[in-house]
Amino acid sequence: MDHPLVQVEAIIAAPLGAVWDTMVKKPSTLFMGAKVETDWKVGHPITMSGAFNGKPFKDGGEIRSFDPEHQLSFTNRSGTSKETNLVTFLLEPQGQGTRVRLSQTPLGGTKVDEDQKAKFEKTWSAMLDALKKEVVRQN
């Protein structure tokens, strides 16, 4: 069984619905303003394209779960990598706000060194911070 490599979370001072709507709108703040192409249906493709740190990228995958206001997961394969990861977002009420938990699980037993793991954690934390700022700005 594959285990999460990276787990990060954020508490956002907004209700579940507001956080969810911000996550799945296009362009999605969740993906640092990337162009997200999907219909959000389980089993259907998802692609994300744009620029990250000044470099263009195009990632692809498949929607694995879409449970509004609770869970979103998809596989993700970077255009520059042969590795596939399962990315899962879990949302739950936290007082007057929402806790967003994100995990990244390598599929296929890929080994990742501590430097790469730290980069993943930094990137996902930055994405959650961007999500938090956008949700607060909109509400």
What tens digit of pLDDT does each residue of 44-84 get? 999 988 887 788 888 899 999 999 999 999 999 876 677 89
**Does position 1 have pLDDT exceeding 60, yes or no?**
no
Helix H or strand E segment including 9: strand 6-12
% residues pLDDT > 90 (the chain) = 50
Quote the pTM value.
0.89
Domains defined for the chain, CATH in brackets: 6-24+64-138 (3.30.530.20)
* pLDDT computed for residue 31 by the predictor: 73
Per-residue model confidence as pLDDT tens digits over 78-99: 766 778 999 999 999 999 999 9
Contacts of 29 (CB under 8 A, 6+ apart): 22, 23, 130, 131, 133, 134, 135
Answer yes or no: is pLDDT of 135 > 60.
yes
